[in-house]
Amino acid sequence: MSRHGPAILLALIALLSAAAALMLGLGPAEPGPRAPAFQRLVGGLGFGPAVAPDGCTFNFDPRLCPRCGREHGPIPGGADFCPAHAVSVFAYPPLPPAGATRAE
């Protein structure tokens, strides 16, 4: 083992950590510049982690379908019966029933 091994190791770890911190600062923070025009064009479309409404429309956009048709809430774990939600990175609850708002 080299006598300078630990020093080189510490320098490498510091460099790696600095690069990781830099990536955090450089990361794409907001949607692309054309995103607002697209959303105005389609009147607001898309919300969840799906690129198409096949499988689970609620997972694509709750405006099109206010709740998942495969959700079986009273059963333990029943909310995750839908394959679109089992490993979802962005799951959300159903919209409130017709005629009610969350403020009520």
Partner 1 sequence: MRALIGVAATGATAVVQYPLRSVATVACVMAVLVPYLSGLGLSRGIEADADEAIRGGADLYVTGSRFGRDVPVPVAAAGAVRQIEGVGDVIPRIVGAVSLGREGVDAVLVGMPPGRVPEAVACVDGRLPVAGAGRHELAVGSELARRLHLRVGDVLPPFYRARGGERLAEVVGIFRADVSLWQAHLVFTTFDDAQAIFDQPGLATDLLVWCRPGYAEQVRRAILTSVRLAPAGAPAGAAAEARPRVTTRQDLEALVPRGLLYREGVFNLLFVLAFAVAILVVLVTAGFGATGRRREIGILKATGWQTDEVLLRGGVESLLLSLTAAAASVLLAYAWLVGLNGYWIASVFLAGADTAPGFRVPFRLTPVPVLLAFLIALAIVMSGTLYASWRAATAPPLAAIRSAR
Nearest approach in angstroms of CB 15 to partner 1 is 9
Contact flag: residue 75 with partner 1 (CB under 8 A)? no
Q: Give the binding-site size for partner 1 (rule: CB under 8 A).
A: 70
Taken in order 50, 54, 56, 61, is the CA torsion positive or negative? positive
Nearest approach in angstroms of CB 50 to partner 1 is 4
Distance between CA atoms of 20 and 29, rounded to whole angstroms? 16
Distance between CA atoms of 27 and 23, rounded to whole angstroms? 6
Nearest approach in angstroms of CB 12 to partner 1 is 8
Contact flag: residue 19 with partner 1 (CB under 8 A)? yes
